[in-house]
Amino acid sequence: MMKFFKTHINRWLVVGCMGLSFIGCSDDEMEENPTPAQPEATDFTATLAKYTANDGVMMQAFYWDVTPQGDWYDIISAHIEDWKTTGVNRIWLPPPSKGQSGFSSMGYDPSDYFDLGEFDQHGTVETRFGSKAELKSLIDVAHQNDIEVIADIVLGHNSGGGLQANPFRDGAEVYSLFNEANGNASGKFNRTNEHFHPNDIHQNDEQALFFAETDLCHDQPYVQDWLWKRDDSFAEYLKSFGFDGWRFDYVKSFSPEVIKEWNEKVGGFSVGENFDGNSEVLENWVEASGSTAFDFACFYKLDEALDRHQDLTYLDQGMLRKTYPDQAVTFTANHDTEKDENPDNRISLANKLKAYAYILTHDGYPCIFYSDYENIALQAQLKGLIAIYNSLATGAVEVLKISEEEYIMKREGNADNPGLILYINIDDQSHSFDASTNWNNKELVDYAGNVKTTITVDANGAATLTVPANSFTIWSVME
């Protein structure tokens, strides 16, 4: 996958897409959290092209309530070439199935799993994102550019069926009847009350219920068959359609064994949304499921360090990437956090680049949020940080200093790669640090572009690293 990165790396620091709006950021947020003026981009492409560290990053290719409705697949298709050039190797799309909300649905209210935008139901043929044909075209464009396509999978709950009495709810009627006349025009995976909770097996299969009246029972063989076990199951249908992997929504509502069995049957990249800031919860889940997980522990520690407490020692606490770096998908924002009005559930715009500098220099597999990447105030440096991740972010992680105001981390590199040193400073004054590096008699540059002067390393590997006020630098050799 690195061939596209090396072929097109000469474009990663070009400031493009002039005139893009701040998608997903309110005017109030931009006023309260102004983004510092970004330095003029510096071209380090000749040096970075010499090194290979990682195969790419994932792009979350949507935000909540994307607009215009019906055109989203075509909009994303137009971005693919730029994302390939930047160093993206996977895109994560929203749930593709028809939802109860029809043309307004973001896909998280699944009704007909097999309707990807071809059946006239819930008031529309297309989904919010486009038609089945447009989705197929997008997948084909991505594959032509060596980019995998990840489908968002909602397995916990259903919406949009017909009313039906449930004997296990004392005869109360719930919307549990799914057939050709009731929200399931495809006629595949028709459902009744016996396939939801409660039923003749148990009250529920996990405690964290969401839409409890139509919470699917994953212990029912019929449900397992249609979701992943049959050769014409939902999982196999998406795989045959062209999807390369899966993002599982709200995995707290069913057993991790479901993910394990799905992946064993159909394969592909897999990541779970276990929305929990406790790193031990995430560790236990990846062990049980065999899947990667979004590192919510890392996300919340970044929020606490940069925003909530303004204390970088919070970065010394538990994260999934510290114990299972190969199983951790790191991120700084997603469709849920960016629409959350609680400031403790999102990282401010003013601190986004520091957060991205962290995840794009450390271990773990970073996920970039569409609205951040398409924000013209962030895009040039984000492209540069992705290039750094793909070229220099390799080797063991060693924290050289951590204090309330400073965080300094070294990637060891290897025999063929010099690695890097990240220096974050949240003080209102510049800082410096006498570091012992892996490099002797070398000139260092800040690949983040926030310091324009070089630093000389002496014969013993000693160098005095610098960082501006409320900023970050990423130091490595200039060759």
Q: Which two structure tokens, joined as six digits, stand for 6?
A: 């090396």
Helix (H) / strand (E) containing 289: helix 279-289
All residues at 6 or more sequence positions from 394 whose CB lies less than 8 Å from its CB, including other chains = 53, 54, 411, 413, 414, 417, 419
Instruction: State residue 120's pLDDT score.
Output: 98
Q: Which two structure tokens, joined as six digits, stand for 181?
A: 């006349």
Instruction: State residue 28's pLDDT score.
Output: 37
**Closest CA relative to residue 152, chosen from 58, 60, 15, 282:** 60
Q: Which domains does the chain have, with CATH numbers?
A: 2-94+129-156+218-393 (3.20.20.80), 406-477 (2.60.40.1180)
CA angle at residue 366 from 253 to 22, to 5 degrees? Answer: 95
- Give CA–CA dist 399/479, Å, rounded: 25
**Closest CA relative to residue 204, chosen from 164, 160, 168:** 168
Cβ proximity of 329 and 360 under 8 Å: no
Cβ proximity of 161 and 173 under 8 Å: no
- Give CA–CA dist 175/163, Å, rounded: 4
Query: What separation in angstroms does the CA of 346 have from each of 57, 67, 115, 338, 421?
Result: 21, 22, 33, 6, 26
Instruction: State residue 11's pLDDT score.
Output: 38
Instruction: State residue 24's pLDDT score.
Output: 37
Q: Which two structure tokens, joined as six digits, stand for 84?
A: 């390939």
Instruction: State residue 208's pLDDT score.
Output: 63
Handedness of CA 209, 210, 211, 215 (dihedral sign): negative
Residues in the chain: 479
The helix, strand and coil proportions of the chain, stated in percent and rounded to the nearest 5, come to 35, 25, 45
User: How far does Cα 375 stand from its chain's mean position?
Assistant: 17
All residues at 6 or more sequence positions from 348 whose CB lies less than 8 Å from its CB, including other chains = 29, 32, 33, 306, 307
Cβ proximity of 249 and 336 under 8 Å: no
Instruction: State residue 31's pLDDT score.
Output: 39
**Closest CA relative to residue 115, chosen from 173, 183, 52, 217:** 183
Instruction: State residue 2's pLDDT score.
Output: 39
- Report mean pLDDT in 10-residue bins for the chain, 479 residues: 39 35 36 51 78 97 98 98 98 98 98 98 98 98 98 97 94 96 98 94 77 92 98 98 98 96 98 97 98 98 98 98 98 96 94 98 98 97 97 98 98 97 98 96 96 96 98 95
Q: Which residue has the tokens 């097999």?
A: 114
All residues at 6 or more sequence positions from 332 whose CB lies less than 8 Å from its CB, including other chains = 299, 302, 347, 352, 355, 356, 359, 369, 372
Instruction: State residue 287's pLDDT score.
Output: 98
List, in sequence order, the alpha helices (H) in 145-193: none
In degrees and rounded to multiples of 5, residue 432 shows phi and psi of -140, 160
